[in-house]
Amino acid sequence: MNDESENNAEPSPGGSERSIGIWAAGTVIVIVLAVLMTRPDWVKGMVKALSGHRYRAPSKHSCISNLKQIDGGVQEWALENRKVATDTYTFADTNLMKYYRGSTLPICPAGGTYSPGKNVASAPRCIVPNHTL
């Protein structure tokens, strides 16, 4: 009698309960991955938490590197044009801009802007706090 009741059972319309569970889990994984792809800041936070390493934003270091490049261009320009330490300069000077790739200043990755030093001897500046040589 038990054999008859098992044979008369209706099959589930979408497949077995196990296949429905696998489909649901796969759908959840796809949704989670789609959300993570739209929020890279969440991914960085998770990587930071899982790796145990302190994550440092690269913008400050990149900006300081840009300031070094700008200062190097100013010093080279000053040397080749017989400028002295007290001479001033401006980024509007097309002759100075020739010392930079593409004749343009690098861009601060944090969105800051660069301004020339008071003179050839002083370093250029970025308006973002702590972005200094």
Q: What is the pLDDT of residues 56-104, one digit of tens each?
A: 557 889 999 999 999 999 999 999 999 999 999 999 999 999 999 999 9
Confirm whether 9 is domain-assigned: yes
Instruction: Report CA 51 to chain centroid distance, whole Å.
Output: 18
Asked if residue 45 and residue 17 are part of one domain, the reply reads yes
Q: Is residue 100 a contact partner of residue 75, using CB atoms and an 8 Å limit?
A: no
Asked if residue 122 and residue 78 are part of one domain, the reply reads yes
Asked if residue 121 and residue 77 are part of one domain, the reply reads yes
- SS3 for 30? helix
pLDDT tens readout for residues 24-42 = 888 888 888 887 778 777 7
Q: Is residue 70 a contact partner of residue 123, using CB atoms and an 8 Å limit?
A: no
What is the residue range of 120's domain?
A: 58-126
> Residue 117 has which token pair?
């030093």
**Phi and psi at residue 127, to the nearest 5°:** -75, -15
Question: Would the pTM count as exceeding 0.85?
Answer: no
Asked if residue 46 and residue 62 are part of one domain, the reply reads no
> Residue 127 has which token pair?
């308006």
Q: How many domains does the chain have?
A: 2
Phi-psi region of 14 (alpha: psi -120 to 50; beta: other; left: phi over 0): alpha
Confirm whether 7 is domain-assigned: yes
Write down the residue that tokens 């601060």 correspond to: 108
Asked if residue 74 and residue 37 are part of one domain, the reply reads no
Give the pLDDT of residue 38: 80
Asked if residue 101 and residue 41 are part of one domain, the reply reads no
